[in-house]
Amino acid sequence: MAGQEYDPFALENLRVDYDNDVVAKPLLTVVPVRKPSKTDFVRVHPGADYRITVPLIEIKDSRETYLVAPKMRQAFDETLYSITTLYLTKNRQGVLSLWPVKQSRTGRTNDWNASAEIAVRKAMTSWVRVGSNMSLGAYELFEAQGKLSEPEWPEMSFSEILRIAFGGNRLVDSENHPLIATLSGMN
């Protein structure tokens, strides 16, 4: 086509060749374990098979969370771990995370944990934002007022999601785990 000027509206210049187009699907490689940000609207997966109550150790300095296998609880002083329910969440940006909500060992609940539990239940049916209110001594819950679309949940099991969240040595399942030596002062 020497001598012809390029026409951006010519059909051959606009047509999509589906056979040669490459579509990429993001792979889930990181699942943070954290309370939702005070600026994030989130939803919680409503299925009972997408939550679990487990012992967790949170290392505040490094912002790391460790899942403790039930058989390893005796390796730690019980003040070092909390019994926590992990809920699968998704924010408006599509980021999956596990929301840890501490459970009472004594049957008595505090207002922080009780308000977090209320927020989780509401987030199963509505987009919510949760913020700490120190004067209230609990979490404040804000419900989105607009008509927001339902979240698209991954087509993978909760077990697979837990494997991603706690892979890389964040599951304490043997006496040789380095966290045991660190927390017992041997390291």
What are residue 33's DSSP bridge partners? Answer: 98
Query: Rounded to an integer, what distance in angstroms lies between the CA atom of residue 165 and that of residue 51?
Result: 13
SS3 84: strand
- pLDDT tens sequence across 1-19: 566 888 888 888 887 776 6
d(CA 88, CA 98): 5
5, 50, 136, 179 from 2: Cα distances, Å = 8, 62, 75, 71
For the chain, the domains span 25-183
**pLDDT recorded at residue 2:** 61
Q: What is the C-alpha to C-alpha distance for residues 96 and 44, in angstroms, rounded to an integer?
A: 10
pLDDT tens across 141-153, in order? 999 998 899 999 9
Question: How open is the CA angle 117-120-123, to the nearest 5 degrees?
Answer: 150
Q: What are the helix (H) ranges across the chain?
A: 11-14, 111-123, 158-166, 178-183
Q: What's this model's pTM, rounded to 2 decimal places? A: 0.84
The token pair that represents 18 in the structure block: 């589906």
| The pLDDT of residue 69 | 95
pLDDT, position 52: 98
Task: Name the residue among 135, 163, 144, 157 with its Cα closest to residue 91.
Answer: 144
CA 11/CA 117 separation, integer angstroms: 57
Q: Which 8-state DSSP code applies to residue 91?
A: E
Which of 94, 86, 101 is CA-nearest to residue 171?
A: 86
The SS3 assignment for 118 reads: helix
pLDDT of residue 15: 79
- Angstrom CA distances, 162 to 18, 68, 98, 168, stand at 36, 12, 9, 12
pLDDT < 50 regions, the chain: none
